[in-house]
């Protein structure tokens, strides 16, 4: 039985991942605003510190897996909060719990990015501000540019952080596998909130999903299956991977890039 910490555990992809891991017999320590083992607000440094310390205490300082899934969608009116949760919250948990993973058995970490992060035209100064670790600048850029740029920028920055960190001595060099998943449109409360928002609904509905014959949107369970794969022994040689689970959307939009 592995001990795995999971942010965003109370709903959507996080809840589906929690349920699958528990069915497989693992001990899951959930983190969310409410409704999980640990209640914490990842939008500010104090909440992140509380989450790290609580996970450390509940795990006895040893983790076999970590999934950073908590996130806010582009429809959230507080655009500053989007980057604070999606990038800084995720990165703080990954960095803050790395030493617990180092003590684990075949440890692995998975970050949830998004296929929207690579849509042409959506890269912005939000990305560089995040990667520079300048949260105030990132929040200011998000407020200026709006929810779509805040969301895509924070998710792109997270994927790039994963790619840069994965091969470092303190991650791969310590035997910790770090990877990311870029989900496509997945029918979660986050996506439903976007569909219910007049400002974002039409662009979401227009986003192409080649496998739409099997359903317009993915299921949280589809993403959970990919997370469990990257956490497990079958992904033992995956390091710094960004796995697209999006029904073919990215391949359609960017067929010559991979």
**For residue 196, what pLDDT is reported?**
78
**For residue 104, what pLDDT is reported?**
97
**For residue 203, what pLDDT is reported?**
76
Which pLDDT band, with edges at 50, 70 and 90, does 215 fall under?
low
Element of type H or E holding 243: strand 242-245
The residues, ordered by sequence, that sit 6+ positions from 159 with a Cβ below 8 Å of its Cβ are: 111, 113, 117, 180, 182, 242
Q: Is 87 a catalytic site residue?
A: no
pTM (2 d.p.): 0.94
**For residue 166, what pLDDT is reported?**
98
d(CA 106, CA 227): 15
Check: CB of residue 31 under 8 Å from CB of residue 68.
no
Q: What is the mean pLDDT of the chain?
A: 93
Domains of the chain: which residue ranges?
A: 3-115+157-245
Give the 3-state secondary structure of residue 252.
Answer: helix
- Percentage of the chain modeled with pLDDT above 90: 79
Taking residues 215-221, report their average pLDDT: 84
Residue 214 pLDDT greater than 70, yes or no: no
Superfamily of domain 3-115+157-245: NAD(P)-binding Rossmann-like Domain (3.40.50.720)
**For residue 80, what pLDDT is reported?**
98
Residue 131 pLDDT greater than 60, yes or no: yes
Which is catalytic among the residues 151, 217, 244, 258?
151
Q: pLDDT tens-digit profile of 174-194? A: 999 999 999 988 877 777 777
Residue 73 pLDDT greater than 80, yes or no: yes
**For residue 32, what pLDDT is reported?**
97
**For residue 61, what pLDDT is reported?**
98
Helix intervals (H) in 60-131: 79-83, 90-96, 98-102, 125-131
Which pLDDT band, with edges at 50, 70 and 90, does 126 fall under?
very high
**For residue 148, what pLDDT is reported?**
92
Q: pLDDT tens-digit profile of 226-256? A: 999 999 999 999 999 999 999 998 999 899 9
Taking residues 82-107, report their average pLDDT: 98
For residue 84 the two structure tokens come to 């604070």
């Amino acid at each position: 039985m592995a001990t795995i910490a999971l942010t965003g555990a109370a709903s959507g992809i996080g809840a589906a991942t929690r349920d699958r891991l528990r069915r497989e017999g693992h001990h899951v320590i959930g983190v969310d605003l409410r409704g999980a083992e640990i209640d914490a607000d990842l939008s500010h440094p104090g909440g992140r510190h509380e989450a790290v310390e609580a996970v450390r205490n509940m795990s006895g300082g040893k983790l076999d897996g970590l999934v950073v899934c908590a996130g806010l969608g582009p429809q959230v009116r507080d655009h500053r909060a989007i980057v604070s949760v999606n990038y800084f919250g995720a990165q703080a948990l990954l960095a803050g719990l790395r030493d617990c993973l180092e003590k684990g058995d075949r440890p692995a970490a998975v970050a949830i990015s998004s296929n929207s992060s690579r849509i042409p035209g959506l890269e912005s100064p939000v990305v560089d501000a995040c990667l520079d670790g300048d949260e105030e600048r990132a929040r200011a850029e998000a407020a200026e540019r709006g929810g779509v740029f805040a969301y895509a920028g924070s998710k792109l920055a997270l994927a790039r952080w994963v790619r840069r960190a994965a091969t470092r001595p303190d991650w791969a060099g310590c035997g910790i596998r770090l990877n990311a998943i870029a989900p496509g449109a997945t029918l979660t409360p986050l996506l439903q909130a976007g569909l219910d928002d007049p400002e974002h609904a039409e662009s979401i509905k227009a986003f192409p999903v080649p496998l739409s014959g099997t359903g317009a949107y993915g299921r949280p369970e589809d993403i959970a299956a990919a997370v469990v794969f990257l956490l497990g022994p079958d992904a033992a040689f995956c390091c710094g991977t960004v796995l697209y689970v999006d029904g073919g959307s990215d391949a359609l939009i960017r067929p010559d890039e991979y």
